[in-house]
Structure 1
Amino acid sequence: MASTTARLDDRTPVLIGAGQSVDRIEAPDYHAWSGVDLAAEAARLAFADAGLDPALAARLDVIATTRTFEDTLGLPAPFGKSSNYPRSVAQRLGANPARAVWEKAGGNTPQDLVGEFCAEIAGGRADLVLLAGGEAISTARHARKTGAQLDFTEAPEGEVEDRGAGLEGWRDPLAARHGVASPTLAYALAENARRAARGESRGDYATAMAGLFAPFVPVARANPYSAAVVGHVDAARLGEAHAHNRWIADPYTLQLVARDLVNQGAALLLASRGTARAMGVREEAMVYLHGHARGVEKSLLSRPDMGAAPSAVAACRTALAQAGIAVGEVAGFDFYSCFPIAVSNAALDGLGLAPDDPRGLTLTGGLPFFGGPGNGYSLHAIAEAVAFARRAPGCAALVGANGGYLSKYSAGIYSTEPRGWLAQDSRALQADLDAVPGLVPLETYAGDAQVETYTVQHDREGPAYAVVVARTAEGARLIARSPTDRRDAAHVAHESDPLGRTIRVTCEDEINTFAFV
């Protein structure tokens, strides 16, 4: 690994502490913590991990937090919430930093924040930075179910840099108009497009998805910060529908998708190397960011190949190149795993890794099994990368952080090997991605077309409606859904394999509906 081992600049940014928290409902010491509480607890643990007194939080220059599900989607908060999440976390720590940043949405954002604030530290604009996040979705749902009275309302004072949800960059109004209103459906369309490109049967592809995620399960079982006990998960039957693994959206069963029913928090403590040494942080505890890169993808319906997101591959390769290593030299990986394609697109198709690579493809246990605390998941992944790097001094860990609908990707390479700061420059990467022409889908269409990809949304009663993306004889792309009053069409799509089939599309009120020919 390329490194600078002598006379590192005191401004070199280092990760000095990582903390994680979990508040399981079934645990004897369950606290019913809010998301803010979980983030603050993780922050205290991050200071302790660095060998520092949590009272040193008073020296923080910056606190930056990820965005909760409630704040991302504008969801109702039945028990209230903080109007200023970063300042709420800071107050619990006795801190009043000059900057408080409320980051926009995206699973990529933790890695983006590490890169951003390492640059701030290297540039002399900060010395001590805390990144944190927490979700208490499980507690909120449990309280509604049991009638427990909670109050998470708080309105701390202090300026905040609220970057907004930032959903406009990846939500597609045309797709939403046709029923693709959740990440699950968007990823399912991408997943079946990948299967179509590979020419695989539904059964073979289900087996492959299960085989990809099966090694994640024992990692999650062994992780003390997993959201829940993973004992009920049968790794051999992940792609098979049964009583504990119902259909969500073809081709996904419940245990192939991220688990959002979590109470989890995570925090990372960053400092300049000079500050870290002055505070007494041990040299062997310092972890360096050797390479990092990010890319932004075209919208889902505009991608030439809906089953691929080259931005993820480009980000990983660029980060590796900056670190001066090949993928074979990486000792540990954590690929964002909200759905199988998020892993297969980057790790298998992009970097040529195998599902059973002995190094493993997750450090946490993955979003379906460890837990998927929304935009904050990769804080946990980076925390695990820090611990991994310390256990294997000089070895590298790669974290791949995915956001949106395979829309944004940020990659980082971590090691205890001392390394001078290298600023991120993903402009060439992004220019190459942008130079590839995208497709402009038809807003409305009437006539015959051939199915390019599809999914079926399920509810508790079974298949509810189907969505297809199809091509006209001239090659134009369109999206259509089954009629709202025709669940039988959804059943047909679920029971058969619509890929390549001819459909007849009609349009009314700017909604394309289809029937099989």
Structure 2
Amino acid sequence: MIDSRTPVLVGVGQVSERLDSPGYQARSPVGLAADAARAALEDAGVPASAVDTVAGVPQFEISLPWATPLLGCSDNFPRSVAVRLGATPRRAVLEVGGGQAPQHLVNEFAATIAAGDAEVVLLFGSEAISTIAALAGTPSPPDFSESPGGSLEARGHGLDGIVSMHHVAHGLSDTPSQYALIENARRARLKMSREDYARAIGELFSPFTAVAAANPHAAAPVFRDSVSLVTPTAANRPIADPYTRYVVAREKVNQGAAVLLMSTGAARRLGVPESNWVFLAGHADLRERNLLDRADYGTSPAAVRAARHALEVAGISSDSLAVLDLYSCYAAPVFIVAEALGIATDDPRGLTVTGGLPFFGGPGNNYSMHAIVSVVERVRSAPGSYGFVGANGGIMSKHSTGVYTTIPYAFQPSHSERIQAELDAAPAPAEAVNADGPAVIETYTVKHPPEGIVLGRLESDGRRFVARADAILDLLTEGEPIGERVTVRSTADGNAIVPG
């Protein structure tokens, strides 16, 4: 017997449009999210009036305090979507930013439903970055501003420990350069040459492009072979060593996705067929240390534990998974989580159901909502199978995971809090804000146009620092810089590696 408060996913929907697609409508973020949410309600056969809670994933332009919406935006995104649907939920939530947000919302509201504090919850998110970029400079751009009124639980930006003005002052103002630090540390630990590591990235992502090419919602539905993905060209310019443009998350998208979650009691009352029901068999939510506090840049203990713990809660191994979607903003998160699960990067099951963020597209914080939609559809089509979604936010900072199946599961709380305490208790290196003296390079990247950035340790006391490294670009672009001795000096403009 299934308890009437057991949470189930009963409806999923996603929509998209490209600037050159037939019937292009130039929908706003609210319009895309509302259409996806409407599709999720129709999938379940449930009226909007049944929804008691709505929760939205913020777009990039409203999840960063310094961002200015070029075409305006809703001042209450969840309620704007609800108004479009004709729903009058008692509760509206705007989640913190980060790619973990969709899976975290599923995990959170599954627990809320199990506790009896909600019955019918609609989760959604969207981005219209491509449309906004195309129309913002036109003579008569649309106005996407809305003020629907009503209450809102706005959870803030969630940037603490992820964005640092000290890091920005040293060139770490973008995600590719920060993930490149992780990538190069991992490469050095594996004792791989630059060429071999680039080849591995291309071989990892070429199958992703094949999935995207067959996905009608993909922003870049083009197959590319492993060599073309990592070979610099005018179209595939270097971004930050080791990345070229083709292998970084693609944000120029117009995409929306939604999930309808409810109790089994509500599902029965509303007549949702059991063939629609998908259970959250396992889940986890963990946080990684801040960037300079990490003992090993080439891995992520929080990502590893979050992936493994979701399987533990479900009581299965990775061998039981029929479909997976590993967060793929860059290669490192895929490599690290696949390794943690004991899954080869060329596993015939594949590591994405969408095509991944560089090829399907990276709709801001909402990518994993599309992954959840696709995984739910896949496990429904193969009753008794299991699917896995790994979601990642920040600089491999926030991790939420979920295991999905049609097999009935009573909702089980995870042990994420205990695991988080264990992760937080591990020793962390001290940081030298002002660094001077002989040092050793721990990891690095070169942004393009050429701009060197180094993370290193002072030989005198082992403190870690970030420094600009334009003076040693030759060292950073040839051979193996990691482990090399250098000299760092602090100045009024920050730390810099100096010659000699």
Give me the TM-score of the superposition, normalised by structure 1: 0.93
Q: What CA distance in whole angstroms lies between the structure 1 residues aligned with 2:140 and 2:444?
A: 41
Which among 330, 333, 336 is matched to residue 324 of structure 2?
A: 333
CA contact (8 A) 2:212 2:220 kept: no
Letter of the structure 2 residue corresponding to residue 499 of structure 1: I
Q: Report the CA distance shift for 1:253/1:145 in structure 2 as closer, same or farther (over 3 A).
A: farther
Matched, 1:344 2:338: no
Letter of the structure 1 residue corresponding to residue 375 of structure 2: A
Identity %: 48
CA contact (8 A) 1:217 1:235 kept: no
Which among 250, 260, 266 is matched to residue 257 of structure 2?
A: 266
Deviations for 1:65-105, whole angstroms, at most 9, x for unmatched residues? 00110011231112111111111111100111000000001
Q: Which residue of 2 aligns with 1:422?
A: 412
Which among 461, 466, 478 is matched to residue 479 of structure 1?
A: 466
Which among 454, 459, 463 is matched to residue 468 of structure 1?
A: 454
Q: Which residue of 2 aligns with 1:4?
A: none
Q: Which residue of 2 aligns with 1:504?
A: 487
Deviations for 1:402-446, whole angstroms, at most 9, x for unmatched residues? 111111111100000111111233122112211211111211112
Which among 64, 79, 83 is matched to residue 73 of structure 1?
A: 64
Which among 141, 160, 163 is matched to residue 133 of structure 2?
A: 141
Q: Which residue of 1 aligns with 2:446?
A: 456
In the TM superposition, residue 388 of structure 1 has moved relative to its aligned partner by 0.9
SS at match of 1:167: coil
Which among 323, 327, 332 is matched to residue 314 of structure 2?
A: 323
Q: Report the CA distance shift for 1:26/1:229 in structure 2 as closer, same or farther (over 3 A).
A: farther
Q: What CA distance in whole angstroms lies between the structure 1 residues aligned with 2:474 and 2:133?
A: 31
Deviations for 1:341-362, whole angstroms, at most 9, x for unmatched residues? 01111112x1221110011111
Deviations for 1:369-411, whole angstroms, at most 9, x for unmatched residues? 0000111111111111100110111110010011111111111
Letter of the structure 2 residue corresponding to residue 265 of structure 1: G
| Structure 1, 69-78 or 295-304: larger mean CA deviation | 69-78
| Structure 1, 420-429 or 255-264: larger mean CA deviation | 420-429
In the TM superposition, residue 235 of structure 1 has moved relative to its aligned partner by 3.9
CA contact (8 A) 1:239 1:253 kept: yes
Matched, 1:193 2:179: no
Deviations for 1:167-202, whole angstroms, at most 9, x for unmatched residues? 014223432231111111111111111111111110
Which among 288, 292, 304 is matched to residue 297 of structure 1?
A: 288
Matched, 1:152 2:180: no
Q: Which residue of 2 aligns with 1:170?
A: 162
Which among 5, 9, 23 is matched to residue 11 of structure 1?
A: 5
Q: Report the CA distance shift for 1:228/1:31 in structure 2 as closer, same or farther (over 3 A).
A: farther
Which among 195, 215, 218 is matched to residue 203 of structure 1?
A: 195
Q: Which residue of 1 aligns with 2:116?
A: 124
Runs of 4+ in 1 over 6 A off after TM superposition: none
CA contact (8 A) 2:304 2:336 kept: yes
Q: Report the CA distance shift for 1:148/1:201 in structure 2 as closer, same or farther (over 3 A).
A: farther
CA contact (8 A) 1:259 1:367 kept: yes
Q: What CA distance in whole angstroms lies between the structure 2 residues aligned with 1:201 and 1:41?
A: 47
Q: What CA distance in whole angstroms lies between the structure 2 residues aligned with 1:199 and 1:100?
A: 49
* Aligned pairs for 1:228-307 within 5 A: 228-230=220-222, 233-307=224-298
Matched, 1:366 2:356: yes
In the TM superposition, residue 498 of structure 1 has moved relative to its aligned partner by 2.6
In the TM superposition, residue 142 of structure 1 has moved relative to its aligned partner by 1.0
Q: What CA distance in whole angstroms lies between the structure 2 residues aligned with 1:469 and 1:96?
A: 51
CA contact (8 A) 1:66 1:133 kept: yes
Q: What CA distance in whole angstroms lies between the structure 2 residues aligned with 1:500 and 1:437?
A: 21
In the TM superposition, residue 141 of structure 1 has moved relative to its aligned partner by 0.8
Q: What CA distance in whole angstroms lies between the structure 2 residues aligned with 1:146 and 1:366?
A: 31
Which among 24, 28, 42 is matched to residue 30 of structure 1?
A: 24
SS at match of 2:136: helix
Q: What CA distance in whole angstroms lies between the structure 1 residues aligned with 2:217 and 2:401?
A: 23
Q: What CA distance in whole angstroms lies between the structure 1 residues aligned with 2:146 and 2:484?
A: 54
CA contact (8 A) 1:172 1:300 kept: no
Instruction: Say how many residue pairs are matched.
Output: 498
Q: Report the CA distance shift for 1:255/1:450 in structure 2 as closer, same or farther (over 3 A).
A: same
* Aligned pairs for 1:22-61 within 5 A: 22-52=16-46, 56-61=47-52
Q: What CA distance in whole angstroms lies between the structure 2 residues aligned with 1:195 and 1:235?
A: 18
* Aligned pairs for 1:372-391 within 5 A: 372-391=362-381
CA contact (8 A) 1:128 1:271 kept: yes
Q: What CA distance in whole angstroms lies between the structure 2 residues aligned with 1:64 and 1:213?
A: 32
Deviations for 1:312-370, whole angstroms, at most 9, x for unmatched residues? 1101111101101011111111011001001111112x122111001111111100000
Letter of the structure 2 residue corresponding to residue 476 of structure 1: R
Q: What CA distance in whole angstroms lies between the structure 2 residues aligned with 1:27 and 1:47?
A: 25
Q: What CA distance in whole angstroms lies between the structure 2 residues aligned with 1:103 and 1:276?
A: 25
- In structure 1, list runs of 5 or more residues that go unmatched: 1-6
Letter of the structure 1 residue corresponding to residue 170 of structure 2: H
| Structure 1, 14-23 or 449-458: larger mean CA deviation | 449-458
Q: Report the CA distance shift for 1:40/1:184 in structure 2 as closer, same or farther (over 3 A).
A: same
SS at match of 2:5: coil
CA contact (8 A) 2:71 2:136 kept: no
RMSD (Å) for aligned C-alpha atoms:
1.5
- In structure 2, list runs of 5 or more residues that go unmatched: none
